[in-house]
Amino acid sequence: MSDHPATVIPAHTLEDIAEVNATGLTPVVFIHGLWLLPSSWDRWAEVFKAAGYAPITPGWPDDPETVEEAKAHPEVFANKTVGQVADHYAEVIGKLDKKPAVVGHSFGGLLAMIVAGRALSAATVAIDAAPFRGVLPLPISALRAASAALSNPSNRHKAVPLTYEQFRYAFANAVSEEEAHQLYDTYCVPAPGAPLFQAAAANLNPWTEVKVDTENPYRGPLLIVSGEKDHTVPPAISDAAYKQQLKNPGTTEFAEIPGRGHSLTIDNGWLEVAQTSLAFVERFTER
């Protein structure tokens, strides 16, 4: 555990937790990554609900509820660190009556693996997950995608927006120009710079918060999903994370989704990724 002060769980999330607990069903916690909001999971939540689960999409600390609000007040994202956000999700999960499945994308995939390493998850799906300490490949495309933040050291303490061109390269390289614009307008919000700096230095810093307990025997089953054409988290990163996680006695599986970029959870092919994730969760959890 880190030494971060406890974050405040917002009232609407506490209401969601109460609703999930009232169903008696297995919860599924969805964790978003940088430059997105919890609403990016709305369609996924419907799919999992229809399959008999109780989905919940809690935000990072201080997440605005809408994209418009996020664009109007980008400063609320600044200075969020990986350890602080991981502790926040651990606190949310601690209020659930049943151990949940956890599904995360990008930095949300990293957070999903962190909470699984704390034995808080019944089954975990990490989709195009940001790298953790011990994951060594640094493909050029990943560095270019992260350069929106890393190019300026002062961004560590700021909220960093993406231009459309940066979003097109980092997220939407595998969809049409028209769809890329639509995704940018619908989903893209500023994000804290700090996690990108933490991830970039993780292998140089023994005390980094960007670390995963890959060997905890209570981690539970884990599926790592990789988009074949992802620039931000290329398959080499996902494959290296998979090899680290194979040290765990639990089930560890890998799925590559052909032809897909980092926007695979929100673009026109989202349902294929959702169904791949759901099929894995269904194998290891009760409804």
Express each pLDDT in 147-204 by its tens digit: 999 999 999 999 999 999 999 999 999 999 999 999 999 999 999 999 999 999 999 9
Q: Which of 264, 278, 275 is nearest to 235 (CA)?
A: 264
Task: Identify whether 1 is part of a domain.
Answer: no
Task: Identify whether 205 is part of a domain.
Answer: yes
Q: Give 217's DSSP letter.
A: T
Which structural domain range is residue 255 located in? 11-284
Q: For the chain, where are the E strands, in sequence order?
A: 27-31, 54-56, 101-105, 123-127, 159-160, 191-192, 222-227, 252-257
Whether 63 and 38 have beta carbons less than 8 Å apart is answered as: yes
pTM confidence score: 0.97
d(CA 225, CA 182): 24
Determine the average pLDDT of the residues in 250-270: 98
Q: Which residues 6+ apart lie within 8 Å of 73 measured at CB?
A: 64
Q: Which CATH number fits the domain that encloses residue 233?
A: 3.40.50.1820
Determine the average pLDDT of the residues in 93-108: 98
Q: Is 76 helix (H, G, I), strand (E, B) or coil?
A: helix
Structure tokens at 221: 């089953």
- Cα–chain center distance at 217: 22
Task: Identify whether 6 is part of a domain.
Answer: no
Task: Identify whether 243 is part of a domain.
Answer: yes
Structure tokens at 131: 């790298």
Q: Give 203's DSSP letter.
A: G
Question: pLDDT at residue 121 above 70?
Answer: yes
Whether 110 and 32 have beta carbons less than 8 Å apart is answered as: no
Determine the average pLDDT of the residues in 57-80: 96
Determine the average pLDDT of the residues in 41-54: 98
Whether 28 and 56 have beta carbons less than 8 Å apart is answered as: yes
Task: Identify whether 34 is part of a domain.
Answer: yes
Task: Identify whether 194 is part of a domain.
Answer: yes
Question: pLDDT at residue 1 above 60?
Answer: no
CA count, 13 A, side-chain hemisphere, 237: 30
Number of domains in the chain: 1
Amino acid at 286: E
